[in-house]
Structure 1
């Protein structure tokens, strides 16, 4: 007979804290009470797609966090994690018969929003749902920072490096659409090492031949003035080093790689024309968004189910509920404290027994009150 799985009180507390931290990271930067539509195209926010209101076969649409709570409660929602530069669609012409409860005065559509198959609950190049009940392979999904689709590690066209959580990924399709990214990948993306970059740049630091030195001496001031007037282009420098790897598949970029991209006027114009100028913005990253969420202090007006329920009761009922809740919380704390002091684990039978005792005490208390009232 196999023993019942057990967990320690420390395990329970650590798991609860981890879940709370993850929720704060993803949702903390988004407003859960007010529709984000008046803010325009929000730089980054938590988004959802409603399969009930905009099913597959119709037009793709996304709703903000607050609308997912207030306007689509009980609906079949797809969690999209976060998207950049998106304006809430809730209640516009894509939602036949549904009006946004939080901000009904909306235009018919948001022309600058970008949509993908994610809005219909499928992801990756394999266009499968997540979680996928038919997929028996354990595989992580990684988000591309350009198209923002989620892809299985086995469908990236390359091996996933270690410590991938510390890096950003650009999928093979986006790399192929933006050829300049391959040049940057040769110098910045994994698995390029600093030693390789140094060796490639060494010829530039060697002394020029005698003829070149004599030429420099003839017009030194002219050469310096040209260099000062025209800032060097990092991209051109990378292209002239000749460092090139045979590379295909997705590219993984280490922390801080965006700051190494060239921001000269020519490169900025090129990136803008390709629709990827956001790569120059280090605050565009999901990591920056999550950090903002973790550092956001919780507000008293948070969505607390207990407080929502209390709002619908009269004063006497509210006090009765609060006292009962505080008594149970105190007794549960004392009950668990004994396990912590003795170094024992808490089993499901222990928890079941605690609540059975609570229910028994409640019945006895009701019986006594009924006796004295009779």
Structure 2
């Protein structure tokens, strides 16, 4: 998944796949960074239920407690650790305006260990097929053992479902990590977004823009009439009160249209260019899209918060504080020893991968025993030659 993580238990098999051990080591730093971005924005020790409908948080669904065929439910990060340890969990990445369900009436045999006093249901929560471990318009699991096509998955910022790039109905642009995507289904449910798309969206294969002139065809006229219908104020305000300050109306009057097909990608800061007039705010509210006017709602904003939290926590790490108290020579010695051990461990695992052997706990134990033995020999040698 793009910009997302899924807690998955990986098994090292005694076959050709054993070589993935090296890949795991090489990608460890990247995975840790992604994990801190997603998880550090959520509390791993306390159930989020008392906070109400949290603006955005990491969520999980438990297939052990609420399997397919039952009622969908979601649990917060802390409950996934404390209440559902050893269960089969689906990681949902992050979702907005959600309240933890752990232990409520949807869980017939489980009581929340962290906050048992919950209402029977959270009526404002929104659920989708993601809560049963399937995603995209194809309703397939992730990872999909039957899918041999390498394809990234991208989350729609409106419905928050994850879709395969090949099922978006458009070409996925470059630097997609810095962009937001709205799927075709959500675009069609809120047609006025197509007006914004013609002016603000990232150009793509499905985005063919054309100028409307006085010689419009009947099709173009019909499409323009449809847009005008969408732009009519939902309240009884007079036309003269809305038109001067409505950006959406001004964009429509420019006469630029876009083929209404496929998902739409939006560049960073596109939300700040939406219309904030009273009529448009009401329109977005009626469509349950008020969050689009909030730039802090974005996943990038959430991830940035998570990274900052992680950095602040690291600033209070006693091990880091101890390292800071060492002199420069001692610091360099520790760094060199750590890098040497990391290199030797990688080489050690590489040999197992090359021979197609499984690494056992005893192998790892022997490796660190050898490391300790070498360290003792270096210390003894240093003492022998010291004067």
TM-score normalized by structure 2? 0.69
Q: 1:137 aligns with which of 141, 145, 149?
A: 149
Structure 2 residue matching 1:244: 3-state secondary structure: strand
Q: Do 2:25 and 2:346's aligned partners in 1 also have CA atoms closer than 8 Å?
A: no
Structure 1 counterpart of 2:39: 27
Q: CA deviation at 1:73?
A: 0.4
Structure 2 residue matching 1:346: 3-state secondary structure: helix
Q: Do 1:6 and 1:345's aligned partners in 2 also have CA atoms closer than 8 Å?
A: no
Structure 1 counterpart of 2:340: 337
Structure 1 counterpart of 2:97: 85
Give the alignment of 1:10-49 within 5 angstroms. 15-49=27-61
Between the aligned partners of 2:20 and 2:98, the Cα distance in structure 1 is 44
Structure 2 counterpart of 1:270: 283
Q: Do 1:6 and 1:347's aligned partners in 2 also have CA atoms closer than 8 Å?
A: no
Q: Do 2:61 and 2:131's aligned partners in 1 also have CA atoms closer than 8 Å?
A: yes
Q: Do 2:242 and 2:279's aligned partners in 1 also have CA atoms closer than 8 Å?
A: no
Structure 2 counterpart of 1:356: 366
Between the aligned partners of 1:105 and 1:271, the Cα distance in structure 2 is 35
Structure 2 counterpart of 1:159: 171
Q: CA deviation at 1:18?
A: 1.5
Between the aligned partners of 2:19 and 2:132, the Cα distance in structure 1 is 38
Between the aligned partners of 1:50 and 1:177, the Cα distance in structure 2 is 30
Structure 1 residue matching 2:90: 3-state secondary structure: strand
Give the alignment of 1:1-374 within 5 angstroms. 15-191=27-203, 232-297=245-310, 299=313, 334=337, 337=340, 346-348=347-349, 355-356=365-366, 358-359=368-369
Q: Do 1:51 and 1:120's aligned partners in 2 also have CA atoms closer than 8 Å?
A: yes
Q: Which moved more, 1:53-62 or 1:160-169?
A: 160-169
Between the aligned partners of 2:117 and 2:170, the Cα distance in structure 1 is 47
Between the aligned partners of 1:285 and 1:52, the Cα distance in structure 2 is 31
Between the aligned partners of 2:92 and 2:169, the Cα distance in structure 1 is 23
Query: CA-atom RMSD, angstroms?
Result: 3.6
Q: Do 1:44 and 1:85's aligned partners in 2 also have CA atoms closer than 8 Å?
A: yes
Between the aligned partners of 1:55 and 1:339, the Cα distance in structure 2 is 41
Between the aligned partners of 2:47 and 2:347, the Cα distance in structure 1 is 42
Q: Do 2:68 and 2:132's aligned partners in 1 also have CA atoms closer than 8 Å?
A: yes
TM-score normalized by structure 1? 0.72
Between the aligned partners of 1:336 and 1:233, the Cα distance in structure 2 is 59
Between the aligned partners of 1:167 and 1:12, the Cα distance in structure 2 is 28
Structure having the higher Rg: 1
Structure 2 counterpart of 1:219: none
Between the aligned partners of 1:120 and 1:344, the Cα distance in structure 2 is 39
Count of equivalent residues? 300
